[in-house]
C-alpha cells in the first residue's frame, strides 16, 4: 500500500515530506524558454540542468533545451567565472542563440559568484545578448524563479524610448502554453495590441514538422522585450508569478500595472475581460459573451452533481487560487488549499475568498507539503482532489477522484495544449471535474441505481 | 539546428568506426564541456538512482528542495515489500540554514523520523552546498546512529564533485558501510549487482536462476531492503549486470570480503543464455550448468520462431542507441543484430574505455560512436545515418519524436521488463510498435 502517511498530526519542524514545490532554477528555465531564440543557461553543476530539462520534458513532452556551466570541484572553490566565460563562448559559437538567459543555482549563489560582474567581463558578440537572474534554490520556489527571470529580462532589456506604442504587456504567469494561447486569443478578440512575456506557445507545444528546431517559432522576441518599456499598461496575471515583472517594468520604464488573479472560472475571467475592455475601450465582442454564457449554462446543467462536494486543491499559488474560486462558483467547497511555495499572501487571499463565499472550516496553507495535505484528508475526507501528478498516491490511498491540473503533470498527455484559463478553460475544467465525480458515482452505484441518463 | 556542427572540444569524444580496429583513441569518462547541452546528470543523481531502490530505507536529501523533488518516485524500481522509498524526504534547506549551517535541521529531521517510524536504515544525501556551508554530515549521522540505535549512513554526493559515475561510486561506498558491519554465515548462492528491478526485471533474473537451481542471497539494489542487504557478504559469487554502477562495489566486495565476481548481462537472447551458463560455470556447479543449457536452449528455440515472425517488419531497419552505461549499449547492439537490424549510432553517458572497445568490435564500418553526446550531435548523426529508431532515456524521447524517429525507452520510464527471454519479446514488440506505427505516415502530408 502506497500510504506511509500517519493520520495523527504531529509537529514537523525540519523534515519536508512529499513537497508541493520545486526549486527556483527550473522556473527560470521555463520562463527563458518562452523567449525566442533564447538559450537558458544553468550556472551550477550539470545535474541541475539535466534534472530541470528532464522535469520540463516530462510535463510538456517536448524537448527543453538548456546549457550548463558544468561546475567541477575547482569551480566550487575558485568560483564559476571561468566556467561561465567558456560556456558563453561555446554557446554563442555552436548553438547560436540570440540571447543567453543565465540563472544561478544554490551552489553558485552560496559560493558567491557575482553574475553582474561576470557577465560584464564576457565578450558578447554584436547583436547578441546575455542576461541573468538570481535563483537561489533555498528561497521561494520554482514560481519565484519564474518570476525572477521575467523581471530580469525586463531589467536588462526593456527601455523607454519616450514614445508610447500603445501596447499592453501581458505577463501570463507560470502556466501551460495552452493557457497562454487562450489569454492571447481573448486579447486578440478584444482588439488589444499586446506583447506577452514569456510566451512558451509555439515552443513547448510545437507542432510536428519532421524537423527539429533548437529555437522553435514561438517565444517573445528580444525586440519585443526591449519595446515593453514603451507600453501603456501591464497586466500581471497571478501575483506570485507575475507581479515582480510588472513592478520592474513600472520602476524602470514607468509603465503602470495591474495585478489580476489567474483568470480561471467566471469571475476571474470576467475581471480579465474587463481589464482588457478598459484598456481598449471597445465593446466586448459577442463571441466572448457567448462563451461566457455557455460556461454559465454548463454550470447550471451540472450543478446538481457538484453542489457541496468537497475539494482539495494543491499546486502553484496563482493556479490554486484560481481553481479554488472556480470550485466555489461550481457550488463546491474548497476544503483544503495547499501550495509548497512560501508566502503569507497565499493564505490571506484564500481566507478572503472563503469569507467572500461564506465558507467555514476550509484550510489554506503556504509552504505546505502533500504529506500534511494527506493527513488533513485522513482527518476529514474530500470528494475530489485537484492538482499535479504527485497527488496520485493520495488519490489512490484514499480512493478519491483525481483531476490533474497545474504543474507538473507527468503521467498524462495533452494537458499542456489545453487551457484552464478563460471561459473555454472553464468549460474544460468543469468537464474534467464533473466527469471525475460522475465516473465515481457510476463506479460506486448499486446496479439498481446505475443510471443510463444522468 | 541545420547548421549545427560539433564543438571542437567534443571531437575527441566521437569516433567513426573504421575497417579493422582503430586502437580506440576516443576520449571518454571525462567531465562535460561548459556550455554544452549535455544529457548528463550529476554525482547526486548517480548516487540516488543506485540507492533509491532500497525499499525500506528513508532517503533523506540534505539540501534545498530541488534535488529531492526531481528524484521523487521517478525510477520504476518495483518492490515486493515496502513502498517507503517512493516518498520524498528532505531537509528543504532555507536561507537561514545556508547562513548558519544546516546541521541542526538535519538532526531534527532525523529525530522526527526516528521517533515516529523507528527505522532500520536512513541514507543522508549530501548535495552541492552542504560541504560549502560547512555541515559535518558524517558527524550528524554518527551521533544519530548511536542515539537511536539505527543505521544512518551519509552519502557524499555534491553534484559538482564529478559526474554520474562518481555518484555510483559514492552509493557503493554507502552500501559497503552498511554491509561490512555484518558477518553472516557463508552460504550457497549469488548476489545480483547492478539491477534495479525496473518493471520487475530483477524478478525475471531471480526466476531464471531459480530454474537452474542457483540460490540468490541478496540483490543490489532492485527490490532490496535492510535485512536482505546485510546477508549479502555470505554469498559465494557476485554477478554484476550494470557494471558502470556496480563494478566498484563488486571490486570492494572481492577485496574486502573475498567474494569473486563475473560480469553478466540479461539483455537479449545471446547475453542472457551465456550469462546463465557462465554463472553456473563460475560456481563450478555442473548440474546447474546442464540445467542452464537446457533452459536457455529451449527458450532460445521458442524465441527464434517469435523473432522470425517479426523479422519481415524489422529487417534492415537502422537503430541509434544512446544509453547510460556501456554494458547496455553492448547488449543492445547484439539484440538489434538478432532482430535483423543494424546499429548506426551508439553512445553512452558514462561508458568506459573497455566498453567502447567492445562496442567498436561489434558494429559495422562507419557506425558513429560517441561519448556524452548532446542533442545537436545526436540529431546530426541520427539524420546522417538515417536511423529509424532511437533507444534512450527521458530526455531523448521528444528529440527523436521531433525528428520523426521512433523511440524506445530503455531507462527509468520503460513500461515492460526488457531483460531476459521475456524481455526479448517485450523489446521486439515495442520496437515494432514504434517503428511501424502509422503515425509516422502523417508527418509530411501535403496540404
Do A311 and A175 lie in a common domain?
A: no
Residue of chain B whose alpha carbon sits nearest to that of A112:
B132
Residue B316 to chain A, least CA–CA distance (Å): 22
CATH number of the domain that residue A121 is part of: 3.40.50.1980
Do B63 and B159 lie in a common domain?
A: yes
Residue of chain A whose alpha carbon sits nearest to that of B404:
A210
Do B331 and B408 lie in a common domain?
A: yes
Do A190 and A211 lie in a common domain?
A: yes
- Helices vs strands, H then E, count in chain A: 17, 14
Choosing from B157, B179, B201, the residue where a domain stops is: B179
Do A276 and A334 lie in a common domain?
A: no
Do B202 and B324 lie in a common domain?
A: no
Tens place of pLDDT per residue across chain B (447 aa): 444 457 777 777 788 876 554 444 566 666 677 888 876 789 999 999 999 999 999 999 999 999 999 999 877 899 999 999 999 999 999 999 999 999 999 999 999 999 999 899 999 999 999 989 999 999 999 999 999 999 999 999 999 998 888 999 999 999 999 999 999 999 999 999 999 999 999 999 999 999 999 999 999 999 999 999 999 999 999 999 987 889 999 999 999 999 999 999 999 999 999 999 999 999 999 999 999 999 999 999 999 989 999 999 999 999 999 998 888 899 999 999 999 999 999 998 878 888 899 999 999 988 999 988 888 889 999 999 999 999 998 778 888 998 999 999 988 778 899 999 999 999 999 999 999 999 998 887 666
**Predicted local distance difference test score (pLDDT) of residue A61:** 93
- Is residue B444 in a domain? no
- Is residue B22 in a domain? yes
Residue A5 to chain B, least CA–CA distance (Å): 10
Collect all residues with Cβ–Cβ distance below 8 Å to B119 and sequence separation of at least 6: B56, B57, B58, B113, B150
Do A296 and A428 lie in a common domain?
A: yes
**Predicted local distance difference test score (pLDDT) of residue A2:** 64
Do B55 and B115 lie in a common domain?
A: yes
Do A93 and A30 lie in a common domain?
A: yes
Specify the number of domains making up chain B. 3
Choosing from A231, A263, A280, the residue where a domain stops is: A280
Task: Residue window 152-191, chain B: list those with CB within 8 Å of chain A.
Answer: 158-164
Q: What whole-number distance in Å separates Cα of residue B329 and Cα of residue A153?
A: 42
**Predicted local distance difference test score (pLDDT) of residue A33:** 98
CATH number of the domain that residue B229 is part of: 3.40.50.1980
- Is residue B401 in a domain? yes
Do A151 and A211 lie in a common domain?
A: no
| Cβ separation B160–A107 shorter than 8 A | yes
Sheet containing A256-260, strands listed edge to edge, beginning at the edge strand earlier in sequence? A194-196, A168-171, A233-237, A256-260
Q: What whole-number distance in Å separates Cα of residue B378 and Cα of residue B395?
A: 12
Residue A167 to chain B, least CA–CA distance (Å): 33
- Is residue A274 in a domain? yes
Do A40 and A125 lie in a common domain?
A: yes
Q: What is the mean pLDDT of chain A?
A: 96
Do B48 and B175 lie in a common domain?
A: yes
Do B174 and B196 lie in a common domain?
A: no
Choose among A10, A14, A111: nearest Cβ to B91.
A14
Do A253 and A323 lie in a common domain?
A: no
Q: Which residues of chain A have pLDDT under 50?
A: 1
Do B154 and B124 lie in a common domain?
A: yes
**Predicted local distance difference test score (pLDDT) of residue B25:** 57
Question: Is B161 in contact with B42 (CB distance < 8 Å)?
Answer: no
Collect all residues with Cβ–Cβ distance below 8 Å to A251 and sequence separation of at least 6: none
- Residue B285's φ and ψ, nearest 5 degrees, are -110, 95
| Cβ separation B1–A213 shorter than 8 A | yes
Do A54 and A70 lie in a common domain?
A: yes
Q: Best mutation site among A46, A67, A134, A391 for testing chain B: the one with the most B CBs within 10 Å?
A: A46
Choosing from B293, B328, B344, the residue where a domain stops is: B293
| Cβ separation B40–A54 shorter than 8 A | no
Cell reading at B347: 553512445
Do A441 and A298 lie in a common domain?
A: yes
- Is residue B360 in a domain? yes
Instruction: Give this complex's ipTM.
Output: 0.95
**Predicted local distance difference test score (pLDDT) of residue B297:** 96
**Residue A62's domain spans which residues?**
24-157
Choosing from A110, A131, A157, the residue where a domain stops is: A157
Side-chain-side CA neighbours of residue A352 (13 Å): 7
- Is residue A77 in a domain? yes
Residue with cell 548516487: B47
Residue A232 to chain B, least CA–CA distance (Å): 37
| 3-class DSSP state of B126 | strand
Q: What whole-number distance in Å separates Cα of residue B262 and Cα of residue B309?
A: 34
CB pairs under 8 A between A and B: 250
- Is residue B38 in a domain? no
Do A319 and A430 lie in a common domain?
A: yes
Do B60 and B173 lie in a common domain?
A: yes
Residue with cell 520462431: B305
Choosing from B179, B202, B233, the residue where a domain stops is: B179
**Residue B341's domain spans which residues?**
8-30+315-414
Specify the number of domains making up chain A. 3
Do A186 and A40 lie in a common domain?
A: no
Choosing from A112, A127, A157, the residue where a domain stops is: A157
Do B56 and B173 lie in a common domain?
A: yes
DSSP secondary structure string for all residues of B184-208: PPP-S-EEEEEE--BTTHHHHHHHH
| Cβ separation A68–B404 shorter than 8 A | no
Q: Best mutation site among B62, B106, B160, B402 for testing chain A: the one with the most A CBs within 10 Å?
A: B160
**Predicted local distance difference test score (pLDDT) of residue B165:** 87
Do B248 and B368 lie in a common domain?
A: no
- Is residue A18 in a domain? no
- Is residue A382 in a domain? yes
Collect all residues with Cβ–Cβ distance below 8 Å to B153 and sequence separation of at least 6: B121, B122, B123, B124, B141, B174, B177, B178
Choose among A13, A138, A371: nearest Cβ to B108.
A13
Amino acid at each position: 500500500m502506497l500510504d506511509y502517511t500517519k493520520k495523527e498530526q504531529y509537529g514537523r519542524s525540519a523534515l519536508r515530506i512529499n513537497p508541493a514545490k520545486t526549486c527556483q532554477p527550473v522556473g527560470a528555465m521555463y520562463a527563458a524558454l518562452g523567449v525566442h531564440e533564447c538559450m537558458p543557461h544553468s550556472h551550477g553543476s550539470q545535474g541541475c540542468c539535466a534534472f530541470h530539462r528532464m522535469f520540463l520534458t516530462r510535463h510538456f513532452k517536448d524537448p527543453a533545451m538548456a546549457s550548463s556551466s558544468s561546475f567541477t570541484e575547482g569551480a566550487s572553490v575558485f568560483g564559476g567565472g571561468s566556467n561561465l566565460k567558456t560556456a558563453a563562448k561555446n554557446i554563442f559559437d555552436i548553438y547560436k542563440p540570440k540571447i543567453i538567459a543565465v540563472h544561478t543555482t544554490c551552489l553558485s549563489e552560496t559560493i558567491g559568484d557575482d553574475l553582474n560582474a561576470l557577465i560584464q567581463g564576457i565578450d558578447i558578440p554584436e547583436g547578441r545578448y546575455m542576461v541573468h537572474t538570481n535563483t537561489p534554490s533555498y528561497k521561494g520556489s520554482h514560481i519565484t524563479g519564474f518570476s525572477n527571470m521575467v523581471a530580469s529580462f525586463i531589467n536588462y532589456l526593456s527601455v523607454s524610448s519616450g514614445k508610447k506604442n500603445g501596447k499592453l504587456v501581458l505577463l501570463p504567469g507560470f502556466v501551460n502554453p495552452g493557457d497562454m494561447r487562450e489569454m492571447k486569443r481573448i486579447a486578440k478578440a478584444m482588439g488589444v495590441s499586446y506583447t506577452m512575456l514569456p510566451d512558451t506557445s509555439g515552443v513547448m507545444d510545437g507542432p510536428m514538422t519532421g524537423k527539429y528546431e533548437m529555437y522553435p517559432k514561438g517565444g517573445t522576441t528580444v525586440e519585443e522585450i526591449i519595446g515593453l518599456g514603451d507600453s501603456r499598461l501591464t497586466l500581471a496575471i497571478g501575483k506570485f508569478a507575475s507581479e515582480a515583472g510588472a513592478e520592474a517594468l513600472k520602476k524602470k520604464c514607468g509603465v503602470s500595472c495591474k495585478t489580476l488573479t489567474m483568470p480561471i472560472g467566471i469571475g476571474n475571467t470576467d475581471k480579465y475581460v474587463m481589464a482588457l475592455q478598459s484598456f481598449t475601450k471597445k465593446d466586448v465582442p459577442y463571441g466572448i459573451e457567448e462563451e461566457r454564457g455557455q460556461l454559465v449554462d454548463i454550470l447550471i446543467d451540472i450543478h446538481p452533481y457538484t453542489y457541496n462536494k468537497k475539494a482539495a486543491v494543491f499546486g502553484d499559488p496563482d493556479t490554486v487560487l484560481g481553481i479554488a474560486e472556480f470550485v466555489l462558483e461550481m457550488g463546491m467547497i474548497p476544503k483544503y488549499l495547499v501550495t509548497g511555495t512560501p508566502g503569507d499572501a497565499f493564505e490571506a487571499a484564500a481566507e478572503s475568498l472563503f469569507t467572500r463565499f461564506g465558507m467555514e472550516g476550509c484550510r489554506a496553507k503556504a509552504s505546505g507539503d502533500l504529506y500534511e495535505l494527506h493527513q488533513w484528508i485522513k482527518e476529514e475526507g474530500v470528494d475530489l482532489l485537484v492538482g499535479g501528478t504527485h497527488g496520485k498516491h493520495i488519490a489512490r490511498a484514499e480512493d478519491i477522484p483525481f483531476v490533474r491540473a497545474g504543474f507538473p503533470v507527468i503521467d498524462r498527455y495533452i494537458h499542456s495544449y489545453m487551457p484552464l484559463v478563460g471561459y473555454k478553460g472553464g468549460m474544460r475544467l468543469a468537464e474534467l471535474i464533473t466527469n471525475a465525480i460522475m465516473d465515481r458515482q457510476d463506479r460506486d452505484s448499486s446496479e439498481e441505481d446505475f443510471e443510463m441518463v444522468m | 539546428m541545420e547548421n549545427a556542427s560539433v564543438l571542437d572540444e567534443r571531437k575527441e569524444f566521437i569516433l567513426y568506426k573504421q575497417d579493422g580496429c582503430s586502437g580506440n583513441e576516443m576520449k571518454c569518462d571525462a567531465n562535460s564541456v561548459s556550455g554544452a547541452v549535455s544529457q548528463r546528470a550529476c554525482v547526486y543523481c548517480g548516487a540516488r538512482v543506485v540507492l533509491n531502490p532500497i525499499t525500506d530505507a528513508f532517503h533523506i536529501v540534505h539540501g534545498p528542495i530541488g534535488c529531492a523533488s526531481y528524484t521523487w518516485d521517478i525510477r520504476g524500481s518495483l518492490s515486493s515489500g515496502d513502498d517507503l522509498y517512493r516518498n520524498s524526504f528532505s531537509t528543504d534547506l532555507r536561507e537561514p540554514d545556508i547562513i548558519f549551517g544546516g546541521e541542526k535541521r538535519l538532526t531534527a529531521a532525523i529525530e522526527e523520523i526516528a521517533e515516529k517510524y523507528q527505522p532500520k536504515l536512513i541514507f543522508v544525501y549530501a548535495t552541492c552546498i552542504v560541504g560549502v556551508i560547512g555541515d559535518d554530515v558524517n558527524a550528524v549521522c554518527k551521533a544519530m546512529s548511536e542515539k537511536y540505535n539505527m543505521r544512518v549512513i551519509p552519502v557524499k554526493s555534491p553534484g559538482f564533485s564529478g559526474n554520474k559515475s562518481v555518484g555510483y561510486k559514492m552509493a557503493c561506498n554507502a552500501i559497503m558501510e552498511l554491509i561490512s558491519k555484518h558477518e553472516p554465515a557463508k552460504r550457497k548462492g549469488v548476489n545480483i549487482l547492478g539491477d534495479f528491478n525496473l518493471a520487475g526485471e530483477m524478478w525475471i533474473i531471480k526466476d531464471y536462476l531459480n530454474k537452474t537451481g542457483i540460490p540468490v542471497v541478496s540483490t543490489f539494489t532492485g527490490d532490496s531492503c535492510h535485512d536482505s542487504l546485510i546477508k549479502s557478504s555470505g554469498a559465494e559469487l557476485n554477478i554484476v549486470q550494470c557494471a558502470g554502477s556496480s563494478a566498484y562495489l563488486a571490486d570492494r566486495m572481492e577485496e574486502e570480503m573475498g567474494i569473486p565476481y563475473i560480469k553478466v548481462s540479461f539483455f537479449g537472447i545471446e547475453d542472457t543464455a551465456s550469462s546463465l551458463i557462465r554463472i553456473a560455470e563460475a560456481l563450478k556447479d555442473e548440474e546447474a550448468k546442464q540445467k542452464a543449457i537446457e533452459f536457455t536452449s529451449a527458450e532460445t528455440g521458442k524465441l527464434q520462431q517469435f523473432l522470425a515472425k517479426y523479422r519481415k517488419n524489422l529487417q534492415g531497419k537502422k537503430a541509434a542507441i544512446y544509453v547510460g552505461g556501456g554494458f547496455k549499449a553492448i547488449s543492445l547492439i547484439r539484440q538489434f543484430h538478432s532482430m535483423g537490424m543494424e546499429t548506426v549510432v551508439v553512445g553512452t553517458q558514462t561508458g568506459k574505455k573497455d566498453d567502447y572497445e567492445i562496442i567498436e568490435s561489434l558494429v559495422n564500418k562507419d557506425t558513429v560512436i560517441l561519448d556524452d553526446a548532446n542533442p545537436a550531435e545526436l540529431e546530426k548523426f541520427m539524420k546522417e545515418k538515417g536511423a529509424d529508431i532511437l533507444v534512450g532515456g527521458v530526455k531523448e524521447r521528444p528529440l527523436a519524436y521531433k525528428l520523426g524517429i521512433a523511440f524506445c525507452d530503455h531507462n527509468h520510464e520503460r513500461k515492460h521488463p526488457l531483460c531476459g527471454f521475456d524481455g526479448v519479446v517485450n523489446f521486439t514488440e515495442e520496437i515494432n510498435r514504434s517503428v511501424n506505427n502509422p503515425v509516422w505516415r502523417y508527418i509530411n502530408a501535403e496540404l
